């Protein structure tokens, strides 16, 4: 029996395979506004925000929207892959003062209850071993009364 976690880490050891998938979607998408811009629109405001993104990959949500990110936002980008986090750090070097990069499994979010205003799990839940455990962690990590984005 194959080890799901090992396969996942191997497939996404860096941003190469993910970049190919993103380029394929961009090339054939009929939505010219763009998925990443739309996702960002769902959380955008000038209010202070503390945001966690699980499975950030190469950080494309933030790279595509970097001119739109208010300076008072604090963003934590996480991924299971050290290579993905390294690529995200390189891509987002201009935003390093407001972005925290961490490697961890979304099934065990290493932050206190209610630490985040928003938790984003964009196109990554199908990778986790237990979706219910991951969703419970997301619920625990986000502040009460905030909207859940996935």
- Does 146 reside within a domain? no
**pLDDT band at residue 101 under the 50/70/90 scheme:** very high
- Does 14 reside within a domain? yes
Q: Cα–Cα distance between 143 and 114 in angstroms, integer?
A: 4
| Domain interval for residue 77 | 4-141
pLDDT of residue 11: 64
Q: Got the DSSP string for 44-57?
A: --SS-EEEEEES-T
Q: Cα–Cα distance between 149 and 13 in angstroms, integer?
A: 26
Sign of CA dihedral 111, 113, 117, 121: positive
Count of domains observed in the chain = 1
Model confidence at 83: pLDDT above 70:
yes
Q: If you average pLDDT over residues 80-107, what whole number do you get?
A: 95
Report the CATH number that the domain containing residue 11 is assigned in CATH.
Answer: 3.40.50.150
Q: Identify the three-state secondary structure at position 79.
A: strand
pLDDT of residue 127: 87
Model confidence at 134: pLDDT above 60:
yes
- Does 121 reside within a domain? yes
Q: Identify the three-state secondary structure at position 146.
A: coil
């Amino acid at each position: 029996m194959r080890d799901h976690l090992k396969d996942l880490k191997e497939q996404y050891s860096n941003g190469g395979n993910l970049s190919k998938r993103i380029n394929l979607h961009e090339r054939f998408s009929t939505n010219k506004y763009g998925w990443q811009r739309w996702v960002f629109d769902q959380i955008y405001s000038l209010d202070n925000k503390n945001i966690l993104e699980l499975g950030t990959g190469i950080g494309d949500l933030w790279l595509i929207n970097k001119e739109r990110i208010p300076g008072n936002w604090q963003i934590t980008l996480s991924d299971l892959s050290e290579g993905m986090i390294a690529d995200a750090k390189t891509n987002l070097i201009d935003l390093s003062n407001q972005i925290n990069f961490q490697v961890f499994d979304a099934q065990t979010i290493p932050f206190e209850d209610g630490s985040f205003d928003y938790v984003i799990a964009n196109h990554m839940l199908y990778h986790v071993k237990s979706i219910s455990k991951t969703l419970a962690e997301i619920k625990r990590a986000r502040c009460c009364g905030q909207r859940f984005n996935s």
